[in-house]
Amino acid sequence: MYYYNNLVSTIVLTQLATEYKVPKFVFSSSATVYGDNESPFVETMALRKTTNPYGETKAMSERILTDAAAANKELNVTLLRYFNPVGAHESGLIGELPQGIPNNLMPYITQTAKGKREKLFVFGNDYDTEDGTGVRDYIHVVDLAKGHVKALENTVNQVNIYNLGSGKGTSVLQLVQAFEKENNIKIPYEITERRSGDIATSYADASKAKKELGWETELTVFDMVKDSWNFEKNLK
């Protein structure tokens, strides 16, 4: 399903972008293309074997777009490697509403806070991290959106790669604690098995986007947990 959805759409859009002479293609890539490299992930790192099919489709899509740019000098490509987007617009009008049981951590936390889920399952506490739980670089969706505007405004090379992350790692339990503190709600949780395909630690070296795009994250983990909860609690 991942291969069909992500690769067919990338190929079709690349063909259409060429046919209609689209000058600039901004691709939503993912930090998962770094595979099991050591954090902080830097854009110059050689990509290592990805740990899941989703990541593989992102690495393949980057390659397809890079080849398309090599074949067509009129096409500029910017590959944005997202770290972990969370949060919502502060108005509470736009946010994350996954179908069914959430796969991702933040919507699982907010649904647990709301009583829609009984408790959070923490996937492993025996990783080589500060508290044993997985470490990720969470980025507020509003900062991420601003990164796209900066990427559209600046074309440094014909093919550009940028990490969109904060450069800071937060563990699962640290995110839960930040949520509890900011929103004054307890999140019941249980430690369970590791989830297949997960790595211990993922965070960005965020210096290239700052230097070349003049972009860096402004919002904190506390803004993320506050805005995520504000969206969830106002849902009918």
Cβ 104 to ligand UDP, closest distance in Å? 3
Task: Return the residue of 40, 85, 87, 134 that touches ligand UDP, per CB under 6 A.
Answer: 134
Residue closer to ligand UDP by CB (options 31, 159) is 31
Site string for ligand UDP, 23-52 (x = CB under 6 A): ------------------------------
CA distance 42 to 25: 22
CB atoms within 10 A of CB 125: 16
Question: Does residue 172 contact residue 105 with C-beta atoms inside 8 Å?
Answer: yes
- The residues in 191-220 that bind ligand UDP, with binding defined as CB under 6 A, are 195, 198
Residue closer to ligand UDP by CB (options 22, 47) is 47
182: left (phi over 0), alpha (psi -120 to 50) or beta: alpha
Helix, strand, coil percentages for the chain (3-state, nearest 5)? 40, 20, 40
DSSP E strand stretches across 91-230: 120-123, 135-136, 138-140, 159-164, 170-171, 189-192, 201-202
Residues with catalytic function: 54
Nearest-5° angle of CA 54, CA 60, CA 62? Answer: 105
CA distance 55 to 213: 25
Task: Return the residue of 80, 88, 113, 122 that touches ligand UDP, per CB under 6 A.
Answer: 122
Residue closer to ligand UDP by CB (options 9, 104) is 104
123 makes contact with ligand UDP (CB under 6 A): yes
Task: Return the residue of 80, 141, 172, 213 that touches ligand UDP, per CB under 6 A.
Answer: 172
104 makes contact with ligand UDP (CB under 6 A): yes
108 makes contact with ligand UDP (CB under 6 A): yes
